[in-house]
Structure formats: structure tokens, C-alpha cells
Amino acid sequence: MDKEAFKKDVDNEFRELSSRIDRIRAAFESVEESDRMKFEMEIENLLQKREIARQKINELDSAKDNWPYFRMEAEVAEQDLKIAVEDANNLLSRARPS
């Protein structure tokens, strides 16, 4: 896969994960107060991982011949973000609505 095709795929995946994060944040507002402390930390973790993934993906734009190195970093950051999104979804499914 060439750089442009990879960048397109990773951008699409990032947008989907960002959408899921936004939905999780919205659902967070409806959980019971006692569960919110757990969610605040989880949301902060998601936002940090999203920012790291965004930075790694953006680094691909300026990468030249060494783009496979940046590809690997972007893949790792995106996988970390994907796992964090799944963890947050699991936590949300166990939360009590307010």
C-alpha cells in the first residue's frame, strides 16, 4: 500500500473513532453521578490518545522516504485509541443511567 492510500485509510478510521468518542462523551452526561468520576478519567484518557493519534497521522503528511516509520507510529497510536474506545464503551455499558 502506498503512502496516499494508507493515509486515506487511517484518516477514515480516525474519523470513525473520533465520532465514537463524541458519542461516548454525550452518553457520559446521562450516567449516574457516582459513576461520573470513572468516566471523567476515561474521557480524559480518550482525548489524550486521540490527540496523540492525530499528531502521528499528521506527521505522515510531511514524511518523505521514511514514511514507513511514521506509518508504524500512526498504526500503533490508532490501535491504542481503538482499544481505549472499546474500554470506554464497556465502561459505559456497565454504568447506571441517572
| Nearest CA among 62, 91, 60, 89 for reference residue 77 | 60
Say if residue 98's pLDDT is above 70: no
- What pLDDT is attached to residue 39? 85
- Give how far Cα 25 sits from Cα of 50, 63, 65, 80, Å: 13, 33, 38, 18
Task: Specify the higher pLDDT residue, 76 or 61.
Answer: 76
- Give how far Cα 49 sits from Cα of 2, 8, 21, 30, 92, Å: 25, 20, 11, 23, 18
Task: Count CA atoms within 13 Å of residue 53 on its CB side.
Answer: 27
- What pLDDT is attached to residue 34? 77
- Residue range(s) defining the domain that contains residue 21: 3-94
Name the domain count of the chain. Answer: 1
Instruction: Give tens-digit pLDDT for 8-34.
Output: 999 999 999 999 999 999 888 888 887
- What pLDDT is attached to residue 94? 83
Q: What is the CATH number of the domain that holds 16?
A: 1.20.120
